[in-house]
Structure formats: C-alpha cells, structure tokens
Amino acid sequence: MHRIDSGFRLPDQISDLWVRRMLIYGDPMVLDRWRWIASRLPTRKCFVLDAGSGNGSIATNVGRLGHSVVALNFSESELQRCQRRNPYPNVTFELQDLRSLGERDDLRDRFDVVICTEVIEHVLDDRKCMHDLAKTLKTGGQLLLTTPNLDYRPLDGKVEPPYEPIEDGRHVRKGYDDRQLRRLAQTADLDVIDIQYCSGDWSQRLTRWYRDLHSWTDPRIASILITPLRFLPLLRDRAQWPPFSICLEASPSGDDRSRVDSL
C-alpha cells in the first residue's frame, strides 16, 4: 500500500511528482475535472472505482492520496499503458466494458466513491449505465460524474456534428443539462447532492490549441508548447461563456453524505 504519512522517502516523492505531472499532460480540461473531484474525495482512506479511466491520470492521482482504486478501461492498449505508468500497488487497472458493468457481481456494493468522467455521453443506454454505477456503491457512498454540458458552445462557432446512435467511441449525445442529469440520477435511485460546472473558456481554448498542435506534431511537443499557458484558467474564465462540463455529485437514496467521511 502506498504510504499516506508525510515522512520523506525519495522513491515515493519521485513517483508522486510523476503522477502529478500526468494531470498537466494532454487535454487541459483533465486538470479541471481533477480539481473538482479532489475537492470532494473523503479525507480518510476509502475504496474508489474509476469507471472509464482513460489515460489513468485520475485513478493514479486518487491512489497518490492513499485511497485503494480499481480502474476500469475499455481499451486493452490503453489499459496496458496505464499499467506501465502506474507506480502504486493500491491502484489496479482492469479491462471492462461499462455497458456490461452490471454483470460484475464482484463489484456490487463495494465502493465508497465511484468516479466516472466524460464517459456516459458515449453510451446509448445511459439509464442502465447510471443504474450499474449506482449498484457498485456502498451505503453512504458517493458518485462523482462529469459529462459535457448541453449548453456549451464550440469556440470556433462551428455547428455540432450529428450524433449517430452508434457506439463507436464517438459521442452519441452532446451532453446533459441540469434537469436531465437530475432525472437520470433519480432513475438510478440516487439523490443529487450537488451539480456544478468546470472548464470555462480558457480551458476550452487551451484544449483546442493543444488538439490543433497535436494534429501536426508529436503530442509531447504539443503539450510542452501549451504548458506556459496552463495557468490561465486559474486566473480567468469568463463567467458568461458556457463551461464545457457539468459535474454531478450524488449518493444512494436516503444516504447521508457525512457518513462517507467517517469510513
């Protein structure tokens, strides 16, 4: 188990710096999601499920804080990369299609926190997906989910592409608004604790610049080129520009959120 104490040990310090660095590599909006998630994680060690772990940056940073993490990934190649980059024995990565998450009886009622970032907009049966996520929570647990905000506007002014009812890795819907997300949570017997937003205009601009650079150069070079600008979202994000992500915090119906911190 990775230590939680504050004693200095060089290997751990190096690992922690490497894992922190993952949050500022690639898509600048990942850091926004992490800041929202980190502000809501229990202060004491708990069991966490990262449902749809992507490049592993969220899962490993949760593990860096001392929590035990199971991270699920749909892509075998991405899973292998996450495993290579993960320095913590308290973080494990597994191959899993979230559309069949309900078949995993071993994951039911197991987790204090379930994290799901920018995944549900890729799934046609979002009600089943939300229900399956809820079933992995312990009594008193919390779901932390982010997904595109239905009201966000592309910075380049282009019309959004049509969303086809085909699960091929692309979005099957643009996103959700407050009302839709609340209703979706309620269908899974979840009580909404809070709904917030993240990734304002500067985060979106940086992400667009990163992707433009990525299209004609190595992703590592693209990331380095925008690194000096990554502080901008911390200083200024125009309130009048719609944020990219809507963020849901919810708990099984009838649960008291305060019970999570006492685990």
Convert the pLDDT of each residue in 165-218 to its tens digit.
999 989 999 999 999 999 999 999 999 999 999 999 889 989 889 888 888 888
Please give the angle made by the CA atoms of 179, 182 and 184, to the nearest 5 degrees.
110
Tell me how far CA of residue 92 lies from CA of 14, 49, 50, 67, 89, in angstroms: 20, 10, 10, 11, 7
Model pLDDT, residue 231: 83
Please, which contacts does 225-233 make with residues 24 or more away whose CB atoms are closer than 8 Å?
226/28, 227/24, 230/24, 230/28, 230/31, 230/206, 232/202, 232/206, 233/28, 233/31, 233/32, 233/199, 233/200, 233/202, 233/203, 233/206
Position 235 in a domain: yes
Position 1 in a domain: no
Position 5 in a domain: no
CA distance 152 to 174: 9
Percent of the residues in the chain that have a pLDDT greater than 90, as a whole number: 65
Position 3 in a domain: no
Model pLDDT, residue 7: 38
CA distance 163 to 170: 8
HEC assignment per residue over the chain: CCCCCCCCCHHHHHHHHHHHHHHHCCCCHHHHHHHHHHCCCCCCCCEEEEECCCCCHHHHHHHHCCCEEEEEECCHHHHHHHHHHCCCCCEEEEECCHHHHHHCHHHCCCEEEEEEECCHHHCCCHHHHHHHHHHCEEEEEEEEEEEEECCCCCCCCCCCCCCCCCCCCCCCCCCECHHHHHHHHHHCCEEEEEEEEECCHHHHHHHHHHHHHHCCCCHHHHHHHHHHHCCHHHHCCCCCCCCCEEEEEEEECCCCCHHHHCC
Q: How buried is residue 147: exposed, middle or buried, by Cβ count under 10 Å (0-12/13-18/19+)?
A: buried
Model pLDDT, residue 222: 86
CA distance 10 to 175: 43
Q: What is the pLDDT of residues 56-93, one digit of tens each?
A: 999 999 999 999 999 999 999 999 999 999 999 999 99
Q: How confident is the model at residue 240 (pLDDT cuts 50, 70, 90)?
A: low
Position 231 in a domain: yes
CATH of residue 117's domain is 3.40.50.150
- Structure token digits, residue 62: 């949760």
Model pLDDT, residue 155: 73
What domain count does the chain have? Answer: 1
Answer yes or no: is pLDDT of 248 > 60.
yes
Position 4 in a domain: no
Answer yes or no: is pLDDT of 154 > 90.
no
Q: What is the pTM of this model?
A: 0.89
C-alpha dihedral, 244 to 249 to 261 to 90, nearest 10°:
-60
Position 192 in a domain: yes
Position 175 in a domain: yes
Q: What is the pLDDT of residues 108-148, one digit of tens each?
A: 999 999 999 999 999 999 999 999 999 999 999 999 999 99
Domain residues for the domain of 83 are: 11-261
